[in-house]
Amino acid sequence: MTTPYPITNRLQDCLNHHQPWFSGKTFLVTGGAGFIGSHLVRHLLSMDAHVVVVDEFNDYYDPAIKRANIADFLNHPNFTLAEADIRDAEAMMALVAQHHQGLERGGIVHLAARAGVRPSLSEPRLYLDTNVSGTLNLLEAARPFPKLRKFTFASSSSVYGSAPDNVPFIETQDVTSPISPYAATKVMGEELLHTYSHLHGFQVVGLRFFTVYGAAQRPDLAIHKFTKRIANGDTIPVYGDGSTRRDYTYIDDIQQGVLAAIRYDATPYELINLGESHTTTLAELIEAIENAVGKKANIDRQDLQPGDVPITYANIDKAKRLLDYHPTTLIKDGIPKFVDWYNTYKQHTCAVTA
Ligand SMILES: NC(=O)c1ccc[n+]([C@@H]2O[C@H](COP(=O)([O-])OP(=O)(O)OC[C@H]3O[C@@H](n4cnc5c(N)ncnc54)[C@H](O)[C@@H]3O)[C@@H](O)[C@H]2O)c1
């Protein structure tokens, strides 16, 4: 299973290094048809692992994009697709029971979630049901199988809330003041996992992803949305004066962290930041996209949105120490790569209005 687009040398080195360990093991990847999940599935298959994807192909963004993300895998002998909803406790029980023997050697990588910050303000119950009850359903499905304990969880930088004076964010920081329902559900997910680690011996790594981008990025996220609109000559909505800062993380860097986290077993419960540990203002981001696309943006300036944080910035010392995580792609190099992907694959994104 090769990638249809180039991956970084660092990620290729990681794949070579991890391959003997992953080969032959089975992983349940929830949200495996999504942006981050479909990259992971591709890399797992490339290392001869077996993968069971759970995804419900909801219409948060065009499900055709998610189908396209996994189209290459459908005939792979090591790939199984379960179209199911993680909110369905019985379905999760049955699925995990069916695959538990393989999963006992591999594990669960739980990426499925309602992932947008702003929509969580209008649909908090959907976010709670999916991100918290859905997580509980997977833990409960695994609980009867004492050898199935490895659980890797997608958390988020948004757990740090609005704390511009406390950057770069470090894992020991207080996260009891989330400012969006989405962020609150990620904090709850982390806490639930801690409880199951303590009570039932789950081996948990919660990864706090900092805004991830790259090939197949979700179309609702700024880099994808802006690229599409600038390329088409459409107006881009810009919230605030352009000074908000984000730590943008390239997808291949996230993948090296996820793969190492899946293997990590030195301690029972860890929360680990995965970012680039560099920040970029919104204005700088737009300029980088303009340069890569070769067109100027038409900006529609709007007020800052409730739930948005002024800055995200990761301290990644822990990831370096525990996961040998070494991100290599800064935004100046990552944006042209994203725009290259967009120009090649934009037909996949055409149906999307986000
Ligand atoms: N992309 C980022 O910048 C970012 C940053 C921080 C955290 N995260 C987290 O990483 C994970 C993956 O994010 P992504 O950007 O790939 O998002 P994505 O929306 O592309 O992928 C999530 C997948 O989960 C599936 N899903 C959602 N609800 C489901 C349900 N009830 N049952 C089964 N499947 C369901 C969706 O159909 C989708 O394919 C999420 O947990 C997200 O919160 C992402």
Q: Can you tell me the mean pLDDT for 318-345?
A: 96
Within a domain: 240: no
pLDDT at position 257, please?
98
CA distance 174 to 211: 20
Within a domain: 195: yes
Please answer whether residues 275 and 314 qualify as being in contact, where contact means their C-beta atoms are separated by less than 8 angstroms. Answer: yes
- Tell whether ligand 1 has an atom less than 6 A from the beta carbon of residue 251: no
Residue with tokens 């990644």: 316
Q: Give the pLDDT band of residue 215 (cuts 50, 70, 90).
A: very high
Give the residue, out of 28, 156, 175, 223, with the most ligand 1 atoms within 8 A of its beta carbon, to mutate for a pocket test.
156
Q: Determine whether 342 is an active site residue.
A: no
pLDDT at position 352, please?
39
Q: Give the pLDDT band of residue 116 (cuts 50, 70, 90).
A: very high
State the pTM of this model: 0.97
Atom number, ligand 1, closest to the C-alpha of residue 182: 43
Q: What's the structural domain count of the chain?
A: 1
Please answer whether residues 338 and 278 qualify as being in contact, where contact means their C-beta atoms are separated by less than 8 angstroms. Answer: no
- Tell whether ligand 1 has an atom less than 6 A from the beta carbon of residue 247: no
Ligand 1 centroid to Cα of residue 133, in Å, is 15
pLDDT at position 308, please?
83
pLDDT at position 354, please?
33
Strand order across the 150-156 sheet: 79-83, 50-55, 26-30, 107-110, 150-156, 203-209, 269-274
Task: Give me 45's structure tokens.
Answer: 């298959």
Q: Can you tell me the mean pLDDT for 56-77?
A: 96
Task: Give me 96's structure tokens.
Answer: 């995990």
Within a domain: 169: yes
Ligand 1 centroid to Cα of residue 60, in Å, is 10
- Tell whether ligand 1 has an atom less than 6 A from the beta carbon of residue 331: no
**Residue 54, beta-bridge partner list:** 30, 82
Query: pLDDT at residue 149 above 90?
Result: yes
Atom number, ligand 1, closest to the C-alpha of residue 63: 37
Range of weakest confidence among 87-96, 134-143, 191-200, 344-353: 344-353
Please answer whether residues 45 and 70 qualify as being in contact, where contact means their C-beta atoms are separated by less than 8 angstroms. Answer: no
pLDDT at position 287, please?
97
Within a domain: 351: no
Q: Can you tell me the mean pLDDT for 119-140?
A: 97
B/e letters for 288-320, b = 16+ CB within 10 Å, e = fewer, are: bbbebbeeebeeeeeeeeebebebbbbbbebbe
- Tell whether ligand 1 has an atom less than 6 A from the beta carbon of residue 112: yes
Tell me: the pLDDT tens digits for 167-185? Answer: 999 999 999 999 999 999 9
Q: Which domain holds residue 110?
A: 9-213+249-277+313-329
CATH of the domain at 134: 3.40.50.720
pLDDT at position 2, please?
62
Q: Give the pLDDT band of residue 165 (cuts 50, 70, 90).
A: confident
Query: pLDDT at residue 49 above 90?
Result: yes
Query: Among residues 60, 127, 182, 325, which one is catalytic?
Result: 182
Within a domain: 204: yes
Q: Give the pLDDT band of residue 307 (cuts 50, 70, 90).
A: confident
Kindly report the average pLDDT of the chain as a whole number. 95
Please answer whether residues 216 and 4 qualify as being in contact, where contact means their C-beta atoms are separated by less than 8 angstroms. Answer: no
Within a domain: 347: no
Taking the mean position of all CA atoms in its chain, how far away is CA 17? 22
Q: Is 168 left (phi over 0), alpha (psi -120 to 50) or beta?
A: beta
Neighbouring CB atoms inside 10 A of 13's CB total 12
Q: Can you tell me the mean pLDDT for 330-353?
A: 80
Tell me: the pLDDT tens digits for 284-295? Answer: 999 999 999 999
Atom number, ligand 1, closest to the C-alpha of residue 57: 37
Within a domain: 136: yes
Within a domain: 25: yes
